[in-house]
Amino acid sequence: MNILVIAAHPDDEVLGLGGTIKKLSKNGNNVKIVIMATGIKARRSKNYSNSEKYEIDEKISDDLDFQIQLLRKESIKSSKILGAKSIDFLNFPDNEMDTVSLLEVTKSIEKIISNFKPEIVYTHTNFDVNIDHRICNQATLVATRPQAKNKVKEVLSYEVPSSTEWYFPSSFSPNVFVNISNEISAKKNALKCYTNEIENFPHPRSVEAIDAISKKWGSVSGFKHAEAFYLLRKLD
């Protein structure tokens, strides 16, 4: 079965569903990951640090382009640990996907779906403070709308720790849980590939936090470790 994972930024795919990707891959499914935005440019600073400034000079721009290439190498390494068959990188502006026509974002996803023909698609939840995550959710819902030529049978959304939990007053309320007790180690190892994205505990983008979150959803669903999703659409 072909399964498509839409992620706004490098590491979102691991944080949200790294264990599920590993499990799907182990079960013989063909998993494609698509990273929509660069994941770097919004920082407006070199050395992976954030800056409050908006404009950047040519030197900083070159540094950011270099960091993007390093980050993509980490993404590829991470995807191999998870067993994904392929990973594609688009070039939408980091944390500024709302400056691009929603139609353009949707068309880019439609083209991938037309070529790859997935039966299941994972995307971000709309209950998220990150604008790129919300844009990916909206564009995916449009791109996967039921049509005769569309083979997509299921669309599910996932959370991203350090972003989804800050969307108030609404919240991500999952109704699908995947047992990743045998895949949690692979998820942690895949996250460690992102050497400049990973943080120290208690930051939610840390190995310890990922372990705690998987245990939380596991306690909800009766597993030692689990990942949580919201089923947006299912066609039988």
d(CA 200, CA 88): 28
Sign of the torsion formed by the C-alpha atoms of 110, 116, 117 and 119: negative
Average pLDDT over residues 109-121: 97
Domain count, the chain: 1
Q: Is 183 exposed, middle or buried (0-12, 13-18, 19+ CB in 10 A)?
A: buried
Q: Phi-psi region for residue 220, left (φ > 0), alpha (ψ -120 to 50) or beta?
A: alpha
Across the range 79-92, mean pLDDT stands at 97
Q: Which amino acid is at 184?
A: I
- Give the model confidence (pLDDT) of 137-189 as tens digits: 999 999 999 987 788 999 999 999 999 999 999 999 999 999 999 999 999 99
Measuring CA to CA, which residue among 30, 28, 24, 39 is closest to residue 160?
39
Domain that holds residue 15: 2-234
Lookup: tokens for 34: 């698509």
pLDDT surpasses 80 at 60: no
Residue keyed to tokens 């779906």: 113
Question: CA-to-CA distance for 74 and 194, rounded, in angstroms?
Answer: 6
Strands 120-124 and 30-37: unpaired
Question: Above 70 in pLDDT, residue 94?
Answer: yes
Query: Mapping DSSP to helix (H, G, I), strand (E, B) and coil, where does residue 10 land?
Result: coil
Chain position carrying tokens 């942690």: 188
Q: Can you tell me the distance from the alpha carbon of 160 to that of 127, in angstroms, rounded to the nearest whole number?
A: 10
The CATH number of whichever domain residue 150 belongs to comes to 3.40.50.10320
